[in-house]
Amino acid sequence: MRQGRLQGKTVLITAAAQGIGRASALACAAEGARVIATDIQQSLLDSLAAASPAIEVALLDVRSDSAVQQLAQRVGALDALFNCAGMVANGSLLDCSEADWDQSFELNVKSMFRMTRAFLPGMLARAQTPGMSVSVINMASMASSIKGFTNRCAYGATKAAVIGLTKSLAADYVKQGLRANALCPGTVDTPSLRGRIASAADPVQAEKDFIARQPMGRLALVDDIAPMVVYLASDESRFVTGQTLLVDGGVTI
């Protein structure tokens, strides 16, 4: 039988109940990882646990420092941490309220700072074992410092901050066996994207517009993104750190 690419590894994923996080949890489990899938939606987590015996689930609101600390104590050392949680606040600078701005930074950036602080000591200890490397994967976006998009003021600012945070982690811990990379997807067909399309004034046109900006002529599927998460969590990417990995269907050609 083929050895899974993540055999023996423990991978924790935030926002894993649906969308990219869920597909990533399933893909990591299929490659032999023990997966800890966390989210705020218990019923969807339950259905994820039912889909694979390698997936353990835990309710986790990444905005709660105490909940994050408790989970880190309970779970122990990780080989890979995928900080996937994030939200889109729609609008230009003049549309963006202080509440939108603050919520976006809280969920998209501070949660990664908080999660990584909680799990980093255990990961660094694990990386001391000869031949071991540990990996932090932070969910950014092509809408960030990579490329500007209309109506993505707070979102683009947070995802650019994620890239900066990721590069600082990579620089500070490269000699201790920790790798940190930022994943930058194009437009992915997920429940949150479907929500944005449905809430547009003209949903049919909104979907056409999202597709029109994709040179490949289609939205990304979650299964177009999950293989990059597997790669970054695996030892195949052992010489890759501090990078922004675009999976964008050619938008930034």
Burial of 124 (0-12, 13-18, 19+ CB in 10 A): middle
One residue of 6, 13, 17, 89 binding ligand NAD per CB under 6 A: 17
Pairing of strands 10-13, 34-39: parallel
With binding defined as CB under 6 A, does residue 40 bind ligand NAD? yes
User: Please, are residues 32 and 54 in contact by the beta-carbon 8 Å criterion?
Assistant: yes
Residue closer to ligand NAD (CB basis): 86 or 177: 86
One residue of 47, 145, 192, 214 binding ligand NAD per CB under 6 A: 192
Enumerate residues 6+ apart whose C-beta is below 8 A from 65: 114
Q: Token pair for residue 12?
A: 């924790």
CB of 104 to ligand NAD, least distance (A): 10
CB of 187 to ligand NAD, least distance (A): 4
With binding defined as CB under 6 A, does residue 160 bind ligand NAD? no
One residue of 104, 116, 138, 141 binding ligand NAD per CB under 6 A: 141
155 an active-site residue? yes
Report the Cα–Cα distance between both ends of the chain, in Å, rounded.
39
Sign of CA dihedral 147, 152, 157, 159: negative
- Residue of 155, 185, 197, 246 marked active site: 155
Query: How many other CB atoms are there within 10 angstroms of residue 176's CB atom?
Result: 14
With binding defined as CB under 6 A, does residue 86 bind ligand NAD? yes
- Count of chain residues binding ligand NAD (CB under 6 A): 27
One residue of 6, 9, 10, 19 binding ligand NAD per CB under 6 A: 19
With binding defined as CB under 6 A, does residue 244 bind ligand NAD? no
3-state secondary structure of 23: helix
Binding region for ligand NAD (CB under 6 A)? 14-15, 17-21, 39-41, 60-63, 84-86, 107, 139, 141, 185, 187-188, 190-193
